[in-house]
Structure 1
Amino acid sequence: MLEAGDPAPDFYLPAADDPGAEYMLSAAADAGPVVVAFVSDVESTARPLLKRLAGVEWAQVVDRLSVFGIGTDEDALARLAEGVPFPVLYDRGGYVTDLYGVDQTSRSDQAVVVADSRCVIRFAWDGADAAELPLEAVQSAVAEATE
């Protein structure tokens, strides 16, 4: 898993629920910090992580921010994207997931990173349980990425 200070590999991925919509990390980072959540292929594990991130009042932390969910199961992602206020992206073959060093075959099969405008990782977390994600640390990294 990549760590704080590492360059965040760029990606260009389609939205799981709208294959015509595509998103690029570097383009999003031009506007402000980016939170990327790599979700499990198991919906019951992935949904809590996406909901935790969706429940954050990001506007209280920073004016401009992008949040993306990324996963490798196209069918599950389309269902997970319903009701989530940010794009959930399909990583066919897990190429981007591998670039970030997220091991979806392990117990810690999910990850969250915060990248700044230079596409440098400011925060990295991996784990299986969304409840363990330190949201305060994510918010602090987002705030610091705007300085």
Structure 2
Amino acid sequence: MADRVDLIKGLIMQKEIKSRSKRGDKKQASKLLAQIKKIFNDVLKEDDDNVFEGDIIRLLSSPAANSYISRNFFPQNLSEYGRYRNIIEYTSDLRLELRWMIYCLHFYSKEISTFVREREKYDDFILLNQYEEALKVVEGIEKSFGPPVKKFL
């Protein structure tokens, strides 16, 4: 339902305002996060694949909601990595879990493909003892994807 998507985005904006204001009400922000989590998990458990697809694409495309759903796949620094709370509950339904993960992977397919290509370049340079070139690849990856990806090289 499109209403759920708009509601989630609105609640996320309210939570961000509450959390960031100098007199932010942390208790209210926590309640908003609980509401976001409940509504998002209703989206996650949607039986109709077409409705789910529309909702998840809209949420992943939303700058406000994306980081809560994908857990910020490509943070630009380490402090940004842990900024977003997990709103996803395990559904105990493998089909639903895989469906959600497939949409996230599809949404980020270009970035993942770029990372894999760069990783292959890095491996080739290391095997050829071209360490300066390998370092340039790492620096390029860090610039594009942020520092946490170093642990995957």
> With structure 2 as the length reference, what TM-score do the two structures score?
0.23
User: Comparing both structures, which one devotes a greater share of its residues to strand?
Assistant: 1
User: Comparing both structures, which one devotes a greater share of its residues to helix?
Assistant: 2
Rg larger in 1 or in 2?
2
> With structure 1 as the length reference, what TM-score do the two structures score?
0.23
